[in-house]
């Protein structure tokens, strides 16, 4: 494996000049840059991230903390974090939040900072903020509200956007609205449910089904709805997977969507576009939020203060509610 000294020898330059080039390409003359780049190509030289880290005291690594990416929304969020990190020369490592698993300083020894994406438990944010703060490392958080402190909060008001979806159903004449979502111990679920309750009056709530965020739960909830004497005329779901499960059961049991029941999901994942009929959904600007979180950390690495950003989602109407 070639070393920086081999590159210098091949280019006919000093090792210090080559080292200077790898720190900042524009810090050496154009002729020297050309010779170094020709040497790098000829020797197939790859700079060592580990060696660079030892020199500058940085790992060039960001840790992403989020629920399991078996949920399509989080798989997308991780990809959106990955792209700007790599563009800035940083590696990104994924660590999922597991029940009962407490994070420790060992989890972040080789990370320069961390990003938490939409955790179910808000308490993890305060714990992580204290832990990373004690290590002198910045933290950015993607959230459905802006209540967190001592970190860069990249937020979107999921409560108001669920209320927007509920208001759309009422404006279209829907009066028997069912709701399917996660349990009350989940912060994102509580925020979404709060938006639903702010708009849909008790006499219009045609069944509340709260357990988890899976497609299987949506399917099971729809089964329970079909056992009732009267079907809801619409179902508001906390994510697109739940909505797909609800529609799967309905369509397999001669309940037309949208003919008999309208269905609206949340998060606007690729599933909402690919499913048939396509699923109306609340779009969360997760790509822009991910870029803002990475940008906040990059600024913090340069000694700039942590910055909060607030984004807006919107309701995307498709075949399931027309």
Q: In a 10 Å sphere around its CB, with 0-12 CB exposed, 13-18 middle and 19+ buried, how is residue 308 labelled?
A: middle
pLDDT on residue 52: 57
Which residue ranges in the chain fall short of pLDDT 50? 54
- List Cβ neighbours of 129 (8 Å cut-off, separation of 6 or more): 139, 148, 149, 150, 151
pLDDT on residue 167: 98
pLDDT on residue 218: 98
Domain 61-156+286-311: give its CATH architecture: 3-Layer(aba) Sandwich (3.40)
pLDDT on residue 26: 81
Q: Where are the alpha helices (DSSP H) in 200-277?
A: 215-226, 240-252, 270-274
Q: In a 10 Å sphere around its CB, with 0-12 CB exposed, 13-18 middle and 19+ buried, how is residue 293 labelled?
A: buried
Intrachain domains 61-156+286-311 and 158-284+317-321 with the same fold: yes
The order of strands in the sheet holding 139-143 is 91-96, 61-66, 113-117, 139-143, 152-156, 309-311
End-to-end Cα distance, the chain? 62
- CATH number belonging to domain 158-284+317-321: 3.40.50.2300
Helix/strand/coil for 237: strand
Q: Spell out the domain ranges in the chain.
A: 4-47, 61-156+286-311, 158-284+317-321
Distance CA 239, CA 237 (A): 6
* CB contact at 8 A, 135 and 94: no
Q: In a 10 Å sphere around its CB, with 0-12 CB exposed, 13-18 middle and 19+ buried, how is residue 302 labelled?
A: exposed
Neighbouring-strand partners of residue 24: none
pLDDT of 31-89, one tens digit each? 998 999 898 888 888 766 555 554 555 778 999 999 888 888 999 999 999 999 999 98
pTM: 0.81
Tell me what percent of the residues of the chain surpass a pLDDT of 90: 71
What is the chain's alpha carbon radius of gyration, rounded to the nearest angstrom?
A: 25
Which tokens sit at 167? Answer: 């208001």
């Amino acid at each position: 494996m070639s070393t920086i000294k081999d590159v210098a020898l091949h280019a006919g330059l000093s090792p210090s000049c080559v080292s200077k080039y790898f720190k900042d390409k524009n810090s050496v003359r154009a002729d020297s840059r050309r010779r170094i780049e020709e040497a790098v190509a000829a020797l197939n030289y790859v700079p060592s991230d580990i060696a660079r880290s030892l020199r500058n005291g940085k790992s060039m690594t960001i840790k992403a903390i989020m629920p399991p990416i078996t949920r399509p929304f989080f798989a997308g969020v991780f990809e959106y974090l990955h792209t700007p990190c790599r563009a800035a020369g940083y590696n990104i490592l994924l660590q999922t939040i597991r029940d009962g698993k407490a994070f420790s300083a060992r989890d972040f020894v080789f990370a320069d900072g961390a990003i938490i994406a939409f955790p179910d438990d808000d308490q993890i944010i305060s714990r992580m903020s204290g832990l990373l703060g004690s290590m002198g490392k910045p933290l950015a958080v993607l959230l459905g509200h802006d209540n967190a402190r001592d970190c860069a909060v990249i937020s979107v008001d999921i409560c108001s956007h669920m209320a927007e979806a509920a208001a759309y159903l009422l404006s279209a004449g829907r009066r028997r609205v069912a709701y399917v979502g996660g349990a009350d111990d989940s912060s994102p679920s509580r925020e979404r449910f709060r938006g639903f309750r702010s708009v849909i009056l008790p006499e219009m709530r045609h069944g509340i089904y709260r357990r988890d965020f899976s497609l299987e739960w949506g399917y099971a909830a729809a089964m329970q709805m079909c056992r009732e004497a009267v079907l809801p005329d619409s179902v508001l779901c906390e994510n697109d997977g739940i909505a797909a499960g609800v529609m799967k059961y309905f369509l397999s049991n001669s309940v037309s969507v949208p003919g008999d029941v309208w269905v609206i999901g949340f998060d606007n994942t690729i599933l909402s576009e690919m499913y048939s009929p396509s699923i109306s959904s609340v779009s969360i600007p997760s790509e822009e939020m991910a870029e803002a979180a990475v940008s906040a950390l990059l600024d913090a690495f340069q000694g700039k203060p942590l910055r909060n950003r607030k984004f807006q989602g919107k309701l995307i109407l498709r075949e399931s509610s027309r």
